[in-house]
Amino acid sequence: MKSFRRVVITGVGAVTPIGTAADGLWSGLEARTSAVRTLTRFDPTPFRSHMAAEIPDFRPQDHLDAKRAKRLDRFSQLAVTSAGLALADAQISPRQEDGDRVGTMMGSALGGVSFAESQVPRYLAEGPRGLDPSLALAVFCGAASCNIAIEFGFTGPNATNAMSCASGTIAIGEAFHVVRDGRADVMLAGGAEAPLAPLTFAAFSVIRAMSTRNDDPARASRPFDAGRDGFVMGEGAAVLVLEERSRALARGAKIYAEVVGHAYTNDAYHMTAPRPDGRQAARAMRLALADGDVSPAEVGYINAHGSSTPLNDPTETSAIKQVFGDHAYRLAVSGTKGYYGHALGASGAIEAAICALALARGWLPPTINLEHPDPHCDLDCLPGGRTAFPAAVVSNSFGFGGINAALVLRPDGGAR
């Protein structure tokens, strides 16, 4: 029987609306304050929704070589910056690594589509000669993982998936399997998204997926609340360093958590609506638990997808009950998108980072803006957060097309 290697998280890098790097992200969570504001990137008045979670102070030249930063569009800038922050946090020097044993896996729902959108007026005004020469290299989702590999010289397994809002979670899960199976010793894995451009924003507005609580943006994203009316679009990126455990211990690395399970399924039901019975979302969680040899009773916390949409939140609640039975009511469940909106393919990576930090620091972040709990979402959704050290946690991500993905993490607890 094949023996699997253990995989731990030794670095966290993030660029989000509530903070940058591991400590900035954590401080943003502790502040219990939403980053959602009236959109400033462009005039939102033509749209039903007027708000978003923007990163307020990201300057790529603060993190990347100025010439290099200029050649990358925003989504790739966020990806490469987060990867650099994760490597620094893990105290890994790329030049000292065997590049063939280090790889990159990323997720992004839209890749460089927003950058491509910005080029349309130039094309209409000047024809092909008006286009930025980097357009063809920036628009595809794979630019995230490829630019990270180029930046740091990593020649191991490399891929970017575009599975909607589950992309970041799938990237981390697949990277976990790569290290566990021995195909690499270290993987950088996460998600990046920069969707705040008029056409992209309009595409989600026209299908009435986004909140229209325009008079109170900071309270618009409200997972599991009876007054929720849609998600709030955000931007951001997060990258984790996944490392073979004995290697991490040998070099004295700090360990945030151990990744033990991952799985994903598809509803095969509808492109935007979740399957009403939630059974495939439940199956994704069951398969992830089985992958990690974790019993439902061991799980103490779930970071829910919690998109703040009318259909997703009760469906996810139902799926959790299907998996955990009576134990579901003893679980802590929080939806953290109230802080930073929904960064589409990056959300799962941000939330996996939050789970790792929560395990390491012993505090479960709250579901902010949960003022009037929906009776159909009747689990313990942590309106105030909680000090706790769960034996295992689950991070869920669900996306358009019916994709359901789950990760299972444990605290690093020595031999098993």
Q: Catalytic positions, please?
A: 165, 305, 342
321-342 burial: b if 16+ Cβ within 10 Å, else e: bbbbeebbeebbbbbbbbbbbb
Q: What residues form DSSP beta bridges with 243?
A: 8, 186
Q: Residue holding tokens 């007026």?
A: 121
* CA-based torsion, 269, 272, 278, 280: positive or negative: positive
Report how far residue 274's alpha carbon sits from residue 293's, in angstroms, rounded to the nearest whole number. Answer: 27
363-378 burial: b if 16+ Cβ within 10 Å, else e: bbbbbbbbeeebeebe
Report how far residue 161's alpha carbon sits from residue 63's, in angstroms, rounded to the nearest whole number. Answer: 25
CA–chain centroid gap for 382, Å, is: 20
Q: Let me know: does 152 contact 136? Beta carbons within 8 Å.
A: no
Q: Let me know: does 158 contact 105? Beta carbons within 8 Å.
A: yes
